[in-house]
Structure 1
Amino acid sequence: MKIAVINPNTTASMTAAIGVAARSAAAPGTEILVGQSTSGPVAIEGPFDGALCLPGLLRAIARAEQAGAVAHVIACFDDTGLDAARAMSVYPVIGLGEAALHLTSLLAQQFCVVTTLSRSVPTLRANILRYGFERRCPHVLASDIPVLDLHRPESGARERIRALIAHGMQNGAEAAILGCAGMADLAAGLTQDLGLPVVDGVDAAVRLAETLVWSGHRPSKVGGWALPARLDQLAVTA
């Protein structure tokens, strides 16, 4: 089974870190095809960046299918381009945000999301509402640490994220979701430190993608995710 994990931004170091997390989550026999957009923003921190990354993301998915991928993970917690990707592919396409919310809903009654910048919060709130989790996930907390600063020691990212999860716990959260692919390597340590489930979207999305492939189900092409008539115009070499 080949599963593509696509970073929609153009930062190679982040793509490499996402690849490590994805391969750690994958079951034996699953091959992770790590890819990234070759055009667009260096980080996705709000709707403007999300719009810029779409052409490169869709081309990366098309290339992955040529390489044999039978499922795709869009490695951005905003679920950037999710509907467009589902419309162009006959294979399952999983967004980190949607996967993490569904998985966490099986672990806790109430949970929170901790993300990067405040301008990402409206997009995540809109997704939570769309997926039907607004009552169970009432809090989206921003660390106000940019994506590319998460692994700089001077940013204090881990301590800030830990404090925000603790704040969520004080307001009823029984689990937490890390709302950025760049936070993937923090989940295990925070789970141990805080004594509650801390869910990483990369891990959740890879496992869910495997489950859908094993189930034999493919996305419906009746209605909103029907294959677009102009799909052959997508240039995969750009």
Structure 2
Amino acid sequence: MRFVLLNPNASVEMTARMCAVAREAIGPGHTLDGHHNPDGPAAIRSAADNALAVPGLLALGARHLHRCDAAILGVSMDTALGELRRQATIPVAGVTESAMLLGSQLGAPVGLITVGPDLVPLYRDLVRQYGLGSRLAGIIGIEAPGAYGGATDTSVADKLRDAVRTLHRAHGARVVVTVAAALCGYVNLRDTDVPLYDGIACAALQVLALARLRQASLSSAG
């Protein structure tokens, strides 16, 4: 099957990092192409950035969604997820929605980790909009500018480990998921109190399952 990852921001590097995680999750025998939004912000760190990304993202969807079996929306804010789904005839998975759905199946309540505290209230509202507020333990936005670099940063890993510990011990999380694209590549930590998963991987696994279900349904109908 063929998959696509759409990144609403302008970062080629972040797109490549997300695609690497998604390809590993999907496994061999499939293809996944990634596309960034050259007209979008460098990164989505505010509600204003989120809104700025929408026109270019929908244009990406119009160009690429009809060419594949399923799509990953590669942004933790699930930017314009509803609009993309209305635009598409294929499954589209958002990172935070997938993190909450799959994470809670593995052991609710779920803790979410992103980069920077400014978007935390928006994440909380997003989870409530999905009707999943009762499954949320808490959200932490770590101060980790090093996460936006090309290589993994040990200081980011330390802050991530501390955030997992806080979500478990102070908020009761039984599973923690990183939802920021900038945290791709940091989930293989040792000595975490509870399991830690990557939100991009969650979205990739969800679209793989949904694409297979859709394919089976189409075959049955034919």
State the match for 2:70 in structure 1.
71
The worse-fitting range, judged by mean Cα deviation, of 101-110 and 208-217 is 208-217
Partner secondary structure for residue 106 of structure 1: helix
**What is the Cα deviation at residue 148 of structure 1?**
5.7
Note if contact 1:96-1:201 (Cα within 8 Å) is conserved in structure 2.
Answer: yes
2:209 maps to amino acid: T
Preserved contact between residue 114 and residue 178 of structure 1 (Cα < 8 Å): yes
The answer (yes or no) to whether the contact 2:115–2:180 under 8 Å persists in 1 is yes
Q: Which runs of 4+ in 1 moved over 6 A?
A: 152-155
- The answer for the alignment partner of 1:44 in structure 2 is 44
Matches within 5 A, 1:54-133: 54-65=54-65, 68-133=67-132
1:108 and 1:22 map into 2 onto residues whose CA distance is 22
The CA deviation string for residues 122-157 of structure 1, in whole angstroms up to 9 with x for no partner, is 111011112222222131111123486365677821
User: What's the offset of the Cα at 1:109?
Assistant: 2.5
- SS across alignment from 2:6: strand
Query: What secondary structure does 1:6 align onto?
Result: strand
1:168 corresponds to: 167
Distance 1:205 1:169 in 2: 23
Alignment partner of 1:212: what SS?
helix
Identity %: 27
Q: For the structure 1 residues 96 and 135, does the alpha-carbon distance in structure 2 shift closer, same or farther, using more than 3 Å as the test?
A: same
TM-score (norm 2): 0.89
Corresponding position of 2:21: 21
Q: Report the TM-score, using the length of structure 1 for normalisation.
A: 0.83
Q: 1:79 to 1:61 in 2, by over 3 A?
A: same
In structure 1, runs of 5+ residues without a counterpart are 218-238
Asked whether the 8 Å contact 1:116–1:147 carries over to 2, the reply is no
Q: Tell me the amino acid that sits aligned with residue 214 of structure 1.
A: R
Q: What is the aligned partner in structure 2 of residue 205 from structure 1?
A: 203
CA RMSD of aligned residues (A): 2.1
With 152-161 and 77-86 compared, the bigger mean Cα shift is at: 152-161
Kindly provide the amino acid, as one letter, of the partner of residue 87 in structure 2. Answer: M
Aligned residues: 215
Of 155-164 and 170-179, more deviation after overlay is shown by 155-164
Which 5+ residue runs of structure 2 have no aligned equivalent? 216-222
